[in-house]
Amino acid sequence: MENTYVLYTDDLDAAIIDPGCYEQEEKEKLKGYIEKKGLRVKLLLNTHSHLDHIFGNSFVARTWDVVPQVHVLDQPIYERFDQMASVYGIPGTETPPTPEYSLQDMSEIFLGPEKLEIVHLPGHCPGHVAFIHAASKRIFSGDVLFQRSIGRTDLPGGEHDTLINTIKDILFKFPDDFQVFSGHGIPTTIGEEKRHNPFLQ
């Protein structure tokens, strides 16, 4: 129910974005895909720190010797992982490893020669970011914008007006043909959501 993304270069360097991976089957599927492709995992990136997006951080960090990267404003959420898993009655979770709070608005991160731009998108939670690969016109948007929907704002740190402004003032500045790969559901485009998203008219 949560989208984990694997990005990789022609040289087979890879980044994993938001490893949900709660079930063992999910972990095995991710590992099998990476091994089949012969990828070298270099980056573990989190758009934000809600449980469903970081369940697999420990598995990924341990398997490929990478450190999660998170925006510093999500530190309180990340550090409450065990508490929140208990509150929601989610058994068998593994405490995620300490991340690097290194993701900064309008900064860049490189995977081999490929550049990902980092954009801060508050509203769903304080430290939410998106990863932009401008060369292929792709936005990995986490839980901010979905196909004809938006992220929920009833969780700690969420704020509806902030989320709406974030989408309209930041995401909608990208060209209409940029694809949006969300944390849940199927891909969409900026133009599609400008025209048809009922929450943003």
pLDDT per residue over 152-174, tens digit each?
999 989 999 999 999 999 999 99
Average pLDDT over residues 91-99: 96
* Model pLDDT, residue 156: 84
Closest by Cα among 67, 73, 77 to 42: 67
Measured in whole angstroms, how far is the alpha carbon of residue 68 from the centre of its chain?
A: 11
pLDDT per residue over 188-199, tens digit each?
999 999 999 999
CA distance 198 to 71: 29
pLDDT per residue over 118-158, tens digit each?
999 999 999 999 999 999 999 999 999 999 999 999 998 99
Closest by Cα among 146, 150, 154, 149 to 186: 146
Closest by Cα among 34, 90, 41, 94 to 69: 41
150 class by beta-carbon count within 10 Å (0-12 exposed, 13-18 middle, 19+ buried): buried
pLDDT at 46 > cutoff 90: yes
Which residue bears the tokens 């341990």? 62
Kindly state the DSSP code that residue 199 receives in the 8-state scheme.
Answer: G
* Model pLDDT, residue 55: 98
Q: In what order do the strands lie in the sheet with 68-69?
A: 5-8, 13-17, 40-45, 68-69
Distant-in-sequence, close-in-space partners of 62: CB < 8 Å, separation ≥ 6: 97
Confidence class for position 1, pLDDT limits 50, 70, 90:
confident
User: 67 and 78 in contact (C-beta within 8 Å)?
Assistant: no
Confidence class for position 24, pLDDT limits 50, 70, 90:
very high
CA distance 136 to 101: 27
Structure tokens at 94: 């593994």
pLDDT at 23 > cutoff 90: yes
Full-model pTM: 0.97
User: 149 and 199 in contact (C-beta within 8 Å)?
Assistant: yes
